[in-house]
């Protein structure tokens, strides 16, 4: 059975003005997501600024989320690292808290070989044998690309490696992987502007930045596709493209945190080295939000 089907939110980590994690606000936005039909919470991923959380903050944020969501929808914990031993430690902790699945980004900076990727993912998976794992392929950020044959080999040979968040942007590579997989990989789009194309080659949904500001819309778009209303789903995908482009006009999660603040959600600042949005891009974002129909505070 799939971990989830539909639109999962790659949720932001709200911060207080002093830079500490704002758990009160996190609970608020978790409830907002659940009330607006989000199909899964993905905590401490790229959008959650996991790279600038301490290990303690990272694990506390995961545990807090699992406890507050309380099995109402799946919680998928980002526990990847460029150090295999660290990824194992984080994954074992998140599994012990009751995470429904783990999201493991490829080791960044090291630029592992395909053989190294197989060794890395296998080592982590073997330490949490009862917890499903979604590989996360985002070569633009990591400098490391899971090739189709590698992804398929892992999914076929390691029982709890079940899926992939595909954020390479390379539709040909993704189609090749799904052709080779013969149904052994649960595919989730990692790019909001490519949800429909990935659904068409067997995808189960999206791990979405857009869902932070438009959760019901993103959920409904995916469900329309699964209900057979391809034209309606396509219309929704295309309508969202200007907003999606604005949400990625600077590096994620700078624009989406700005968008949530513009909506009055008050998710606070970013952690350096990420900095506040450029004024011109902020204006572009605000216009795209208004044009899409989002209410600004």
Whether the pTM exceeds 0.85: the reply is yes
Residue 293's CB: how many other CB atoms inside 10 A?
10
Phi and psi, residue 13, nearest 5°:
-100, 110
At 247, list the tokens.
């949400």
State how far Cα 289 lies from the chain centre.
21
Cα 91 to Cα 108: distance, rounded to the nearest angstrom: 17
Q: Per residue of the chain (297 residues), give pLDDT as tens.
A: 799 999 999 999 999 999 999 999 999 999 999 999 999 999 999 999 999 999 999 999 999 999 999 999 999 999 999 999 999 999 999 999 999 999 999 999 999 999 999 999 999 999 999 999 999 999 999 999 999 999 999 999 999 999 999 999 999 999 999 999 999 999 999 999 999 999 999 999 999 999 999 999 999 999 999 999 999 999 999 999 999 999 999 999 999 999 999 999 999 999 999 999 999 999 999 999 999 999 999
Cα 45 to Cα 253: distance, rounded to the nearest angstrom: 10
Residue 184's CB: how many other CB atoms inside 10 A?
16
Domains of the chain plus CATH, in order, are: 6-229 (3.20.20.70)
- Helices 114-127 & 84-97, crossing angle to 10 degrees? 30
Cα 255 to Cα 116: distance, rounded to the nearest angstrom: 34
State how far Cα 231 lies from the chain centre.
26
Which of the residues are catalytic? 136, 165
pLDDT at 1: 78
Torsion sign across C-alpha atoms 177, 168, 107, 186: negative
Dihedral angle over CA of 52, 252, 8, 175, nearest 10:
-120
Report, in angstroms and rounded to the nearest whole number, the Rg of the chain calculated over CA atoms. 18
Distances (CA, A) of 200 to 170, 174, 196, 232: 14, 11, 6, 14
Cα 11 to Cα 31: distance, rounded to the nearest angstrom: 12
pLDDT at 14: 98
* Those residues with Cβ within 8 angstroms of residue 44's Cβ, 6 or more apart along the chain or in another chain: 13, 50, 53, 58, 61, 62, 77, 78, 79
């Amino acid at each position: 059975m799939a971990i989830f089907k539909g639109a999962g939110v790659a949720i932001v980590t709200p911060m207080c003005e002093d830079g500490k994690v704002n758990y009160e606000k996190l609970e608020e936005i978790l409830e907002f997501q659940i009330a607006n039909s989000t199909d899964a919470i993905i905590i401490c991923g790229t959008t959650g600024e996991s790279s600038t959380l301490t290990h303690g903050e990272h694990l506390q944020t995961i545990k807090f989320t699992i406890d507050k969501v309380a099995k109402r929808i799946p919680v998928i914990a980002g526990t990847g690292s460029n150090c295999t031993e660290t990824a194992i430690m984080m994954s074992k902790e998140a599994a012990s808290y009751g995470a429904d699945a783990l999201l493991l980004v490829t080791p960044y900076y090291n630029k592992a070989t395909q053989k190294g990727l197989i060794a890395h993912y296998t080592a982590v998976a073997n330490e949490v044998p009862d917890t499903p794992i979604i590989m996360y392929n985002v070569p633009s950020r990591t400098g490391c690309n899971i090739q189709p044959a590698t992804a398929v080999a892992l999914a076929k040979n390691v029982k709890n490696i079940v899926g992939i968040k595909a954020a390479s942007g390379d539709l040909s590579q993704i189609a090749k992987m799904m052709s080779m997989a013969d149904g052994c990989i649960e595919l989730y789009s990692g790019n909001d502007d490519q949800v429909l194309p990935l659904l068409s080659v067997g995808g189960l949904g999206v791990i979405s930045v857009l869902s932070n500001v438009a959760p019901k819309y993103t959920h409904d778009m995916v469900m329309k596709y699964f209900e057979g209303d391809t034209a309606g789903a396509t219309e929704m995908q295309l309508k969202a493209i200007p907003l999606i482009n604005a949400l990625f006009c600077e590096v994620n999660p700078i624009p989406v945190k700005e968008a949530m603040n513009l909506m009055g959600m008050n998710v606070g600042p970013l952690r350096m080295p990420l900095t506040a949005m450029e004024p011109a891009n902020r204006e572009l974002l605000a216009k795209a939000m208004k044009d899409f129909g989002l209410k600004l505070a």
